[in-house]
Copies of this chain bind each other. A is one copy, B any other.
Amino acid sequence: MALKVQKRRRFLYEPIQLNPPQILALLFLVLVLAGALLLKLPIASEKGVSWIDAFFTAVSAATVTGLVTVDPGSTFTLFGEIVILFLIQVGGLGIMSFAVLVVIMLGKRIGIKQRLIMQEALNQPSIGGVIRLVRNLLIFSLSIEAIAVILLSFRWVPDLGWGKGIYYSIFHTIAAYNNAGFGLWPDNLVRYVGDPMVNLVITLLIITGGIGFTVLVDLWYSKKWKELSLHSRIMIWSTLIVNIISILVFYTFEYNNPHTLGPLSSGEKIWAAYFQGISPRTAGFNTIDIGGMRQDSLLFMIMLMFIGAGSASTGGGIKLTTFIVIIFAVLTFLRGKQEVTVLKRSIRTGIILRALAIATISMLLVFTGVMLLAMTEKAPFLTILFEVVSAFGTVGLTMGLTFKLTLFGKIIIICVMFLGKIGPLTLAFSIARPDKSNIRYPDGDLFTG
Protein backbone atom coordinates (compact mmCIF):
# COMPACT_ATOMS: atom_id res chain seq x y z
CA MET A 1 0.00 0.00 0.00
CA ALA A 2 2.69 2.46 1.06
CA LEU A 3 4.75 1.30 -1.88
CA LYS A 4 1.82 1.86 -4.21
CA VAL A 5 1.37 5.39 -2.92
CA GLN A 6 5.11 5.95 -3.30
CA LYS A 7 5.00 4.76 -6.89
CA ARG A 8 1.95 6.82 -7.69
CA ARG A 9 3.54 9.87 -6.17
CA ARG A 10 6.66 9.38 -8.21
CA PHE A 11 4.56 8.86 -11.35
CA LEU A 12 2.64 12.05 -10.68
CA TYR A 13 5.80 14.01 -10.03
CA GLU A 14 7.94 12.97 -12.91
CA PRO A 15 6.09 14.39 -15.93
CA ILE A 16 6.20 17.96 -14.62
CA GLN A 17 9.28 17.80 -12.39
CA LEU A 18 7.80 20.23 -9.87
CA ASN A 19 7.84 19.83 -6.12
CA PRO A 20 4.94 21.10 -3.96
CA PRO A 21 6.45 24.53 -3.22
CA GLN A 22 7.05 25.07 -6.92
CA ILE A 23 3.46 24.14 -7.72
CA LEU A 24 2.33 26.52 -5.00
CA ALA A 25 4.45 29.30 -6.51
CA LEU A 26 3.04 28.54 -9.95
CA LEU A 27 -0.56 28.66 -8.71
CA PHE A 28 0.19 31.93 -6.97
CA LEU A 29 1.57 33.31 -10.20
CA VAL A 30 -1.55 32.25 -12.10
CA LEU A 31 -3.77 33.87 -9.46
CA VAL A 32 -1.77 37.07 -9.60
CA LEU A 33 -1.77 37.24 -13.40
CA ALA A 34 -5.52 36.63 -13.52
CA GLY A 35 -5.98 39.34 -10.89
CA ALA A 36 -3.85 41.83 -12.82
CA LEU A 37 -5.82 41.13 -16.01
CA LEU A 38 -9.12 41.70 -14.20
CA LEU A 39 -7.87 44.91 -12.59
CA LYS A 40 -6.69 46.17 -15.98
CA LEU A 41 -10.21 45.77 -17.43
CA PRO A 42 -11.89 49.13 -18.15
CA ILE A 43 -14.73 48.32 -15.73
CA ALA A 44 -12.26 47.81 -12.86
CA SER A 45 -10.91 51.34 -12.58
CA GLU A 46 -12.37 54.83 -12.68
CA LYS A 47 -9.82 56.32 -15.09
CA GLY A 48 -7.68 53.28 -15.99
CA VAL A 49 -4.47 52.03 -14.40
CA SER A 50 -1.10 51.16 -15.90
CA TRP A 51 -0.13 47.49 -16.32
CA ILE A 52 2.53 47.75 -13.64
CA ASP A 53 0.09 49.27 -11.12
CA ALA A 54 -2.54 46.61 -11.89
CA PHE A 55 0.09 43.90 -11.45
CA PHE A 56 1.46 45.53 -8.30
CA THR A 57 -2.02 45.74 -6.78
CA ALA A 58 -2.77 42.12 -7.68
CA VAL A 59 0.48 40.87 -6.11
CA SER A 60 -0.05 43.05 -3.05
CA ALA A 61 -3.60 41.69 -2.63
CA ALA A 62 -2.83 38.02 -3.31
CA THR A 63 0.17 38.08 -0.97
CA VAL A 64 -2.07 39.94 1.53
CA THR A 65 0.50 42.70 1.82
CA GLY A 66 -1.40 45.94 1.38
CA LEU A 67 1.29 48.14 -0.16
CA VAL A 68 -0.34 50.27 -2.86
CA THR A 69 1.08 52.39 -5.68
CA VAL A 70 -2.40 53.87 -6.25
CA ASP A 71 -5.12 54.60 -3.70
CA PRO A 72 -7.50 51.62 -4.02
CA GLY A 73 -10.58 53.49 -2.80
CA SER A 74 -10.45 56.27 -5.41
CA THR A 75 -8.72 54.39 -8.25
CA PHE A 76 -10.82 51.25 -8.57
CA THR A 77 -14.53 50.79 -9.17
CA LEU A 78 -16.69 48.53 -7.04
CA PHE A 79 -15.81 45.72 -9.46
CA GLY A 80 -12.10 46.42 -9.05
CA GLU A 81 -12.41 46.48 -5.28
CA ILE A 82 -14.23 43.14 -5.32
CA VAL A 83 -11.41 41.68 -7.42
CA ILE A 84 -8.96 42.91 -4.77
CA LEU A 85 -11.15 41.46 -2.01
CA PHE A 86 -11.27 38.14 -3.84
CA LEU A 87 -7.48 38.07 -4.25
CA ILE A 88 -7.07 38.84 -0.54
CA GLN A 89 -9.47 36.10 0.56
CA VAL A 90 -7.97 33.52 -1.80
CA GLY A 91 -4.39 34.50 -1.04
CA GLY A 92 -4.98 34.80 2.68
CA LEU A 93 -6.83 31.58 3.34
CA GLY A 94 -4.32 29.88 1.12
CA ILE A 95 -4.58 28.87 -2.49
CA MET A 96 -4.38 25.27 -1.48
CA SER A 97 -7.07 25.21 1.16
CA PHE A 98 -9.20 27.06 -1.36
CA ALA A 99 -8.45 24.50 -4.02
CA VAL A 100 -9.46 21.76 -1.62
CA LEU A 101 -12.71 23.57 -0.90
CA VAL A 102 -13.45 23.66 -4.61
CA VAL A 103 -12.67 19.97 -4.90
CA ILE A 104 -14.92 19.16 -1.93
CA MET A 105 -17.72 21.28 -3.39
CA LEU A 106 -17.37 19.47 -6.69
CA GLY A 107 -17.74 16.24 -4.76
CA LYS A 108 -14.46 14.71 -5.90
CA ARG A 109 -12.12 12.72 -3.69
CA ILE A 110 -8.86 14.40 -2.83
CA GLY A 111 -5.86 12.63 -4.29
CA ILE A 112 -2.58 12.11 -2.54
CA LYS A 113 -0.92 14.81 -4.60
CA GLN A 114 -3.49 17.49 -3.83
CA ARG A 115 -3.18 16.57 -0.20
CA LEU A 116 0.58 16.92 -0.36
CA ILE A 117 0.29 20.34 -1.93
CA MET A 118 -2.22 21.37 0.68
CA GLN A 119 -0.09 20.01 3.46
CA GLU A 120 2.61 22.26 2.08
CA ALA A 121 0.30 25.26 1.99
CA LEU A 122 -0.60 24.76 5.63
CA ASN A 123 2.88 23.79 6.71
CA GLN A 124 1.53 20.69 8.42
CA PRO A 125 3.85 17.84 9.32
CA SER A 126 1.43 14.99 8.50
CA ILE A 127 -1.13 14.40 5.77
CA GLY A 128 -3.81 12.82 7.95
CA GLY A 129 -6.72 15.02 8.86
CA VAL A 130 -5.69 17.86 6.57
CA ILE A 131 -8.94 17.78 4.63
CA ARG A 132 -11.01 17.92 7.80
CA LEU A 133 -8.74 20.68 9.04
CA VAL A 134 -9.26 22.80 5.95
CA ARG A 135 -13.03 22.37 5.99
CA ASN A 136 -13.11 23.35 9.65
CA LEU A 137 -10.88 26.34 9.08
CA LEU A 138 -13.09 27.63 6.30
CA ILE A 139 -16.25 27.27 8.36
CA PHE A 140 -14.50 28.89 11.31
CA SER A 141 -13.05 31.73 9.21
CA LEU A 142 -16.34 32.59 7.55
CA SER A 143 -18.14 32.50 10.92
CA ILE A 144 -15.59 34.83 12.51
CA GLU A 145 -15.79 37.15 9.51
CA ALA A 146 -19.61 37.18 9.67
CA ILE A 147 -19.58 38.19 13.35
CA ALA A 148 -17.01 40.91 12.66
CA VAL A 149 -19.04 42.32 9.77
CA ILE A 150 -22.08 42.64 12.05
CA LEU A 151 -20.03 44.35 14.78
CA LEU A 152 -18.36 46.78 12.39
CA SER A 153 -21.72 47.58 10.80
CA PHE A 154 -22.84 49.01 14.14
CA ARG A 155 -20.12 51.59 13.69
CA TRP A 156 -20.13 52.18 9.95
CA VAL A 157 -23.82 51.92 8.94
CA PRO A 158 -24.69 54.99 11.06
CA ASP A 159 -21.66 56.80 9.57
CA LEU A 160 -21.99 55.79 5.91
CA GLY A 161 -25.56 54.54 5.39
CA TRP A 162 -26.74 50.95 4.86
CA GLY A 163 -25.14 50.05 1.53
CA LYS A 164 -21.75 51.66 1.95
CA GLY A 165 -21.65 50.86 5.67
CA ILE A 166 -22.11 47.13 5.21
CA TYR A 167 -19.78 47.05 2.20
CA TYR A 168 -17.03 48.85 4.15
CA SER A 169 -17.54 46.43 7.04
CA ILE A 170 -17.16 43.42 4.74
CA PHE A 171 -14.10 44.85 2.98
CA HIS A 172 -12.22 45.75 6.14
CA THR A 173 -13.22 42.51 7.87
CA ILE A 174 -11.81 40.37 5.07
CA ALA A 175 -8.71 42.57 4.84
CA ALA A 176 -8.12 42.41 8.61
CA TYR A 177 -8.77 38.67 9.06
CA ASN A 178 -6.40 37.95 6.18
CA ASN A 179 -3.89 40.44 7.58
CA ALA A 180 -3.96 42.29 4.29
CA GLY A 181 -3.83 45.90 5.45
CA PHE A 182 -5.89 47.23 2.52
CA GLY A 183 -8.23 50.06 3.40
CA LEU A 184 -10.84 52.02 1.45
CA TRP A 185 -9.96 55.34 3.09
CA PRO A 186 -6.86 57.07 1.71
CA ASP A 187 -5.52 57.47 5.28
CA ASN A 188 -6.20 53.79 6.12
CA LEU A 189 -7.82 53.83 9.61
CA VAL A 190 -6.29 57.06 10.96
CA ARG A 191 -9.75 58.64 11.37
CA TYR A 192 -10.74 55.84 13.79
CA VAL A 193 -7.64 56.18 16.01
CA GLY A 194 -9.75 56.51 19.19
CA ASP A 195 -12.74 54.35 18.24
CA PRO A 196 -13.01 51.35 20.62
CA MET A 197 -15.22 49.24 18.30
CA VAL A 198 -13.00 49.61 15.23
CA ASN A 199 -9.82 49.13 17.28
CA LEU A 200 -11.07 46.00 19.06
CA VAL A 201 -12.74 44.25 16.13
CA ILE A 202 -9.89 44.89 13.70
CA THR A 203 -7.16 43.81 16.16
CA LEU A 204 -9.08 40.67 17.20
CA LEU A 205 -9.45 39.75 13.51
CA ILE A 206 -5.72 40.40 12.99
CA ILE A 207 -4.74 38.21 15.95
CA THR A 208 -7.16 35.38 15.06
CA GLY A 209 -6.04 35.34 11.43
CA GLY A 210 -2.39 35.70 12.34
CA ILE A 211 -1.96 33.11 15.07
CA GLY A 212 -2.20 30.19 12.66
CA PHE A 213 -4.92 27.69 11.82
CA THR A 214 -3.25 24.83 13.67
CA VAL A 215 -3.41 26.86 16.88
CA LEU A 216 -7.08 27.65 16.32
CA VAL A 217 -7.93 24.00 15.67
CA ASP A 218 -5.88 22.99 18.69
CA LEU A 219 -7.75 25.49 20.84
CA TRP A 220 -11.06 24.20 19.48
CA TYR A 221 -10.38 20.54 20.33
CA SER A 222 -8.37 20.90 23.56
CA LYS A 223 -10.17 21.21 26.84
CA LYS A 224 -7.17 22.01 29.05
CA TRP A 225 -4.08 24.18 28.62
CA LYS A 226 -1.89 21.07 29.07
CA GLU A 227 -3.57 19.34 26.13
CA LEU A 228 -2.39 22.04 23.75
CA SER A 229 0.63 21.24 21.59
CA LEU A 230 3.97 22.89 22.30
CA HIS A 231 3.52 24.93 19.13
CA SER A 232 0.14 26.28 20.27
CA ARG A 233 1.35 27.11 23.75
CA ILE A 234 4.42 28.92 22.42
CA MET A 235 2.31 30.84 19.91
CA ILE A 236 -0.20 31.97 22.54
CA TRP A 237 2.45 32.99 25.06
CA SER A 238 4.68 34.75 22.57
CA THR A 239 1.81 36.55 20.83
CA LEU A 240 0.73 37.89 24.20
CA ILE A 241 4.22 38.90 25.34
CA VAL A 242 5.35 40.40 22.04
CA ASN A 243 2.13 42.39 21.69
CA ILE A 244 2.34 43.77 25.23
CA ILE A 245 5.99 44.77 24.80
CA SER A 246 5.21 46.41 21.45
CA ILE A 247 2.31 48.41 22.86
CA LEU A 248 4.47 49.65 25.75
CA VAL A 249 7.34 50.54 23.39
CA PHE A 250 5.16 52.60 21.03
CA TYR A 251 3.32 54.26 23.94
CA THR A 252 6.60 55.29 25.59
CA PHE A 253 8.58 56.26 22.49
CA GLU A 254 5.80 58.19 20.75
CA TYR A 255 4.09 59.74 23.78
CA ASN A 256 5.39 63.25 23.08
CA ASN A 257 5.89 63.00 19.30
CA PRO A 258 3.87 65.87 17.75
CA HIS A 259 3.45 63.88 14.51
CA THR A 260 1.87 60.81 16.14
CA LEU A 261 0.61 60.40 19.73
CA GLY A 262 1.48 63.92 20.91
CA PRO A 263 -1.73 65.76 19.88
CA LEU A 264 -4.05 62.87 20.87
CA SER A 265 -6.13 62.72 24.08
CA SER A 266 -4.90 60.29 26.76
CA GLY A 267 -7.56 57.75 25.76
CA GLU A 268 -6.65 57.99 22.07
CA LYS A 269 -2.96 57.65 22.96
CA ILE A 270 -3.62 54.26 24.54
CA TRP A 271 -5.79 53.06 21.65
CA ALA A 272 -3.21 54.22 19.09
CA ALA A 273 -0.33 52.47 20.90
CA TYR A 274 -2.51 49.37 21.30
CA PHE A 275 -3.34 49.31 17.59
CA GLN A 276 0.22 49.98 16.40
CA GLY A 277 1.55 47.37 18.81
CA ILE A 278 -0.54 44.64 17.20
CA SER A 279 -0.66 45.66 13.54
CA PRO A 280 3.00 45.61 12.36
CA ARG A 281 3.53 41.87 12.67
CA THR A 282 1.98 41.42 9.24
CA ALA A 283 -1.44 43.11 9.34
CA GLY A 284 -0.38 46.49 8.04
CA PHE A 285 -3.25 48.70 9.11
CA ASN A 286 -2.37 51.99 10.75
CA THR A 287 -4.22 54.58 12.82
CA ILE A 288 -1.29 57.03 13.03
CA ASP A 289 1.07 58.45 10.38
CA ILE A 290 3.92 55.92 10.07
CA GLY A 291 6.17 58.45 8.29
CA GLY A 292 5.96 60.74 11.33
CA MET A 293 7.24 58.19 13.84
CA ARG A 294 10.62 58.37 15.59
CA GLN A 295 13.62 56.47 14.22
CA ASP A 296 13.78 54.13 17.21
CA SER A 297 10.06 53.29 16.94
CA LEU A 298 10.47 52.65 13.23
CA LEU A 299 13.42 50.35 13.82
CA PHE A 300 11.41 48.46 16.42
CA MET A 301 8.58 48.25 13.91
CA ILE A 302 10.98 46.89 11.28
CA MET A 303 11.88 44.12 13.71
CA LEU A 304 8.20 43.30 14.30
CA MET A 305 7.51 43.28 10.55
CA PHE A 306 10.45 40.93 10.00
CA ILE A 307 9.28 38.54 12.74
CA GLY A 308 5.71 38.36 11.43
CA ALA A 309 2.82 36.19 12.55
CA GLY A 310 2.28 32.47 13.10
CA SER A 311 3.05 29.52 10.83
CA ALA A 312 0.08 28.39 8.73
CA SER A 313 -1.56 31.76 9.27
CA THR A 314 -2.63 34.52 6.90
CA GLY A 315 0.48 36.43 7.95
CA GLY A 316 4.05 36.66 6.73
CA GLY A 317 7.54 37.24 8.08
CA ILE A 318 9.97 34.64 9.34
CA LYS A 319 7.18 33.64 11.79
CA LEU A 320 6.93 34.11 15.51
CA THR A 321 8.00 30.55 16.34
CA THR A 322 11.12 30.96 14.19
CA PHE A 323 11.98 34.04 16.21
CA ILE A 324 11.25 32.36 19.54
CA VAL A 325 13.38 29.33 18.64
CA ILE A 326 16.24 31.67 17.71
CA ILE A 327 15.96 33.67 20.92
CA PHE A 328 15.97 30.52 23.04
CA ALA A 329 18.84 29.01 21.03
CA VAL A 330 20.84 32.22 21.46
CA LEU A 331 20.23 32.27 25.21
CA THR A 332 21.24 28.61 25.40
CA PHE A 333 24.45 29.21 23.43
CA LEU A 334 25.34 32.26 25.51
CA ARG A 335 24.90 30.26 28.71
CA GLY A 336 27.27 27.67 27.27
CA LYS A 337 24.60 24.95 27.14
CA GLN A 338 23.79 22.72 24.20
CA GLU A 339 20.21 21.55 24.67
CA VAL A 340 17.69 24.19 23.67
CA THR A 341 14.51 23.91 25.71
CA VAL A 342 11.27 25.89 25.48
CA LEU A 343 8.46 25.38 28.00
CA LYS A 344 10.24 22.22 29.25
CA ARG A 345 10.41 20.68 25.79
CA SER A 346 13.66 19.99 23.98
CA ILE A 347 13.97 21.55 20.52
CA ARG A 348 15.73 19.31 18.00
CA THR A 349 18.85 20.58 16.22
CA GLY A 350 17.03 20.23 12.90
CA ILE A 351 14.42 22.76 13.97
CA ILE A 352 17.04 25.20 15.25
CA LEU A 353 19.02 24.85 12.05
CA ARG A 354 15.86 25.50 10.00
CA ALA A 355 14.96 28.55 12.10
CA LEU A 356 18.44 30.03 11.77
CA ALA A 357 18.50 29.27 8.05
CA ILE A 358 15.11 30.90 7.49
CA ALA A 359 16.18 34.01 9.41
CA THR A 360 19.51 34.25 7.62
CA ILE A 361 18.12 33.71 4.13
CA SER A 362 15.35 36.21 4.85
CA MET A 363 17.97 38.76 5.89
CA LEU A 364 19.86 38.12 2.67
CA LEU A 365 16.64 38.66 0.71
CA VAL A 366 15.94 41.91 2.56
CA PHE A 367 19.55 43.00 2.06
CA THR A 368 19.34 42.34 -1.68
CA GLY A 369 16.06 44.22 -1.93
CA VAL A 370 17.43 47.21 -0.03
CA MET A 371 20.60 47.19 -2.13
CA LEU A 372 18.62 47.26 -5.37
CA LEU A 373 16.20 49.95 -4.15
CA ALA A 374 19.15 52.04 -2.94
CA MET A 375 20.30 52.00 -6.56
CA THR A 376 16.98 52.87 -8.19
CA GLU A 377 15.23 55.14 -5.66
CA LYS A 378 16.12 58.50 -4.18
CA ALA A 379 15.02 58.12 -0.58
CA PRO A 380 16.55 57.99 2.91
CA PHE A 381 17.97 54.60 3.83
CA LEU A 382 15.49 53.98 6.66
CA THR A 383 12.54 54.60 4.31
CA ILE A 384 13.95 52.04 1.87
CA LEU A 385 14.68 49.47 4.57
CA PHE A 386 11.19 49.94 6.01
CA GLU A 387 9.60 49.46 2.59
CA VAL A 388 11.52 46.28 1.81
CA VAL A 389 10.90 44.66 5.20
CA SER A 390 7.22 45.61 4.93
CA ALA A 391 7.06 43.88 1.53
CA PHE A 392 9.03 40.87 2.78
CA GLY A 393 6.76 40.41 5.80
CA THR A 394 3.71 41.08 3.59
CA VAL A 395 2.85 43.81 6.08
CA GLY A 396 1.87 46.75 3.92
CA LEU A 397 2.98 49.62 6.16
CA THR A 398 5.00 52.33 4.44
CA MET A 399 6.82 55.52 5.31
CA GLY A 400 5.42 56.92 2.07
CA LEU A 401 7.77 55.42 -0.51
CA THR A 402 5.31 53.12 -2.32
CA PHE A 403 3.53 55.97 -4.11
CA LYS A 404 6.84 57.38 -5.36
CA LEU A 405 8.45 54.13 -6.54
CA THR A 406 10.09 54.08 -9.97
CA LEU A 407 9.19 51.32 -12.40
CA PHE A 408 12.21 49.29 -11.30
CA GLY A 409 11.37 49.98 -7.67
CA LYS A 410 7.89 48.58 -8.22
CA ILE A 411 9.29 45.44 -9.85
CA ILE A 412 11.71 44.93 -6.95
CA ILE A 413 8.94 45.30 -4.36
CA ILE A 414 6.72 42.91 -6.35
CA CYS A 415 9.51 40.31 -6.25
CA VAL A 416 10.09 40.83 -2.52
CA MET A 417 6.37 40.47 -1.74
CA PHE A 418 6.19 37.30 -3.83
CA LEU A 419 9.32 35.76 -2.29
CA GLY A 420 8.30 36.97 1.17
CA LYS A 421 5.01 35.08 0.84
CA ILE A 422 6.20 31.79 -0.64
CA GLY A 423 9.86 31.90 0.43
CA PRO A 424 9.83 30.85 4.08
CA LEU A 425 7.33 28.07 3.26
CA THR A 426 9.49 26.78 0.42
CA LEU A 427 12.52 26.95 2.63
CA ALA A 428 10.87 25.11 5.50
CA PHE A 429 9.93 22.41 3.00
CA SER A 430 13.38 22.21 1.40
CA ILE A 431 15.23 21.93 4.68
CA ALA A 432 12.77 19.42 6.12
CA ARG A 433 13.03 17.13 3.08
CA PRO A 434 15.19 14.01 3.46
CA ASP A 435 18.37 14.07 1.45
CA LYS A 436 18.48 11.93 -1.67
CA SER A 437 22.08 12.68 -2.58
CA ASN A 438 24.22 9.55 -2.85
CA ILE A 439 27.62 11.23 -2.91
CA ARG A 440 29.12 11.57 0.55
CA TYR A 441 32.15 13.77 0.80
CA PRO A 442 34.56 13.43 3.71
CA ASP A 443 34.04 15.92 6.54
CA GLY A 444 36.16 19.06 6.47
CA ASP A 445 37.12 21.13 9.48
CA LEU A 446 36.47 24.85 9.51
CA PHE A 447 36.92 27.60 12.03
CA THR A 448 34.15 30.12 12.17
CA GLY A 449 33.77 33.14 14.42
Task: Please give the residue numbers on chain A whose beta carbons come within 8 Å of chain B beta carbons, in ascending order.
Answer: 19, 123-125, 212, 214, 229-231, 234, 294-296, 299-300, 303, 311-312, 318-319, 321-322, 325-326, 329-330, 333-339, 341-349, 351-361, 363-364, 367, 370-371, 374-375, 380-382, 384-385, 424-425, 427-428, 430-431, 433-435, 437, 439-449
Does B447 lie within 8 Å of A364, measured CB to CB? no
- Decide if B338 touches A437 in the complex (CB within 8 Å): yes
Are the CB atoms of B359 and A360 closer together than 8 Å? yes
What 10 A-B pairs come out closest when comparing CB atoms?
A: A345-B444, A338-B435, A356-B356, A428-B449, A381-B382, A230-B444, A424-B449, A311-B447, A322-B448, A346-B441
Q: How far is the CA of A333 from the CA of B319 in the complex (A)?
A: 18
Q: Which residues of B contact A354 (CB under 8 A)?
A: 448-449
| A333 to B432 CA separation, bound complex (whole angstroms) | 9
Q: Is the CB of A430 within 8 A of B374?
A: no
* Given contacts A440-B346, A446-B231, A371 and B339 within 8 Å (CB-CB): no
Q: What separation, in Å, do the CA atoms of A374 and B249 have in the docked complex?
A: 14
A399 shortest CB reach to chain B, Å: 11
15 contacts between A and B (CB under 8 A): A230-B445, A230-B446, A231-B445, A295-B381, A299-B374, A299-B381, A330-B360, A336-B433, A338-B434, A345-B442, A346-B442, A348-B443, A358-B448, A380-B381, A380-B382
With contact pairs A346-B444, A444-B346, A448-B321 given, residues A357 and B357 touching in the complex (Cβ less than 8 Å): no
Question: CA separation between A307 and B355, bound complex, in Å?
Answer: 21
Given A231-B445, A356-B359, 14 other A-B residues pairs in contact with their CB atoms under 8 A: A124-B447, A125-B447, A299-B371, A299-B374, A319-B448, A329-B357, A338-B431, A343-B444, A346-B444, A354-B449, A355-B448, A358-B448, A425-B449, A427-B449
Whole-angstrom CA separation of A124 from B449 in the bound complex: 11
Contact yes or no, A344 B449, CB < 8 A = no
Contact of A447 with B214 in the complex, beta carbons under 8 Å: yes
Residues of B within 8 A of A299 (CB): 367, 370-371, 374, 381
User: In the docked arrangement, what's the CA distance between A380 and B348, Å?
Assistant: 41
* Contact between A352 and B355, CB atoms less than 8 A apart: no
Q: Distance in Å from the Cβ of A289 to the closest Cβ of chain B?
A: 18
In the bound complex, CA of A424 to CA of B445 (Å): 18
How many Å lie between the Cα of A295 and that of B370 in the bound state?
Answer: 10
| Given A123-B449, A337-B435, A367-B303, A444:B342 Cβ within 8 A | yes
Q: Which of B360, B364, B446 contacts A321 (CB 8 A)?
A: B446
From B337, B347, B371, B449, contact of A318 by CB (8 A):
B449
**Complex alpha-carbon distance, A128 and B163, angstroms:** 82
Of B295, B441, B449, the residue contacting A341 (CB under 8 A) is B441
State which of B335, B358, B442, B445 has its C-beta within 8 Å of the C-beta of A449.
Answer: B358
Closest to A424 in B: B449
Question: Taking the nearest CB of chain B, how far is it from the CB of A230, in angstroms?
Answer: 4
A440 CA to B345 CA in the complex, in Å? 9
CA distance A199 to B348 in the complex (A): 50
Given known A381-B381, A382-B381, contact A300–B353 (CB-CB < 8 A): no
Known contacts A333-B431, A360-B326; decide if A371 and B448 are in contact (CB<8 Å).
Answer: no
The answer on a CB contact under 8 Å between A447 and B231 is yes
A442 proximity list for chain B (CB < 8 A): 345-346
Q: Kindly state the separation between the CA atoms of A159 and B123 in the bound complex, as whole angstroms.
A: 68
Known A-B contacts A125-B445, A374-B299, A435-B338; the reply to A427 vs B333 at CB < 8 A is yes
Residue in chain B with minimal CB distance to A354: B448
Q: Which residue of B lies closest to A434 (CB)?
A: B338
A214 to B346, CA, bound (A): 37
Q: Which of B294, B341, B357, B424 makes the CB contact (< 8 A) with A356?
A: B357
